[in-house]
Amino acid sequence: MKWLFSLFKKQIKENQINMKKFLIVGLGNIGSEYTNTRHNIGFKILDYFASKENCSFQTMKLGDIAEYSIKGRKLIFLKPNTYMNLSGKAVKYWMEKENIEKENILVITDDLNLSFGSIRIKAKGSDGGHNGLKNIQLLLNTTEYPRFRFGISDQFKKGQQVDYVLGEWNEDENSKLTERLDLSIKIIQSFALAGLNNTMNEFNGK
């Protein structure tokens, strides 16, 4: 029986090694004062996903990490603890540590140019003035990595952009947020299971 148990353990270990891995990065700022702000939608989506699937985050090097497995895929959730404008440092470290190619990362970020809750998934693109994406682009030396943009709209007066982005969701937005978070879970799962192109076709514009 010992040899059978050893063989079983070996097969489990080989399956874990051979699992296709994805790095799902939610952008945000650490600190309780930022928890419910628009700029922290990346953190919020990953926290929501983890709570639904009973995953727990652990503080590790350069970020909080949780793992989720689905149909032979291993998803590593990363919430960088470097603050937004140094997000690339954490992304690069975990990509290299887990040996994950750039086409298998998905960066979740807020987007002022999209109406609230609108979804835009892209294979590449500019940073659009977003400091988190700007630093990731700098450290990875490429604009070609998948990103999931979540619209927060631009309903602020001139000169009030920072206050708006770092402000909390209003009552109307909060009432609609859960449905958008549920959709976000489906997007992340689709990215891992169906691939980027199918995910863009299925969810862009929803």
- Residue 182 inside a domain? The answer is yes
Strand residue runs (E) in the chain: 20-26, 58-60, 63-70, 73-80, 105-111, 119-122, 147-151
- Residue 9 inside a domain? The answer is no
CATH number, domain with residue 123: 3.40.50.1470
Place of tokens 């076709």: 201
For residues 1-30, one letter each, b for 16 or more C-beta atoms within 10 angstroms of the residue's C-beta and e for the rest, the string is eeeeeeeeeeeeeeeeeeeebbbbbbbbbb
Query: What is residue 2's predicted lDDT score, i.e. its pLDDT?
Result: 54
- Residue 40 inside a domain? The answer is yes
- Residue 134 inside a domain? The answer is yes
- Residue 190 inside a domain? The answer is yes
Place of tokens 């650490």: 30
Domain count along the chain: 1
Is 86 within 8 Å of 29 (Cβ atoms)? no
- Residue 12 inside a domain? The answer is no
Domain that holds residue 160: 18-203
- Residue 52 inside a domain? The answer is yes
Is residue 130 part of the annotated active site? The answer reads no
Q: Catalytic residue among 38, 39, 44, 79, which? A: 39
- Residue 13 inside a domain? The answer is no
Position 10 pLDDT exceeds 70: no
- For residue range 83-132, list pLDDT tens digits in order: 899 999 999 999 999 999 999 999 999 999 999 999 999 999 988 889 99
Place of tokens 């050893």: 6
Task: Report CA torsion sign: 163, 155, 82, 86.
Answer: negative
Is 57 within 8 Å of 190 (Cβ atoms)? no
pTM equals: 0.89
- For residue range 148-203, list pLDDT tens digits in order: 999 999 888 787 888 999 999 999 999 999 999 999 999 999 999 999 999 999 99
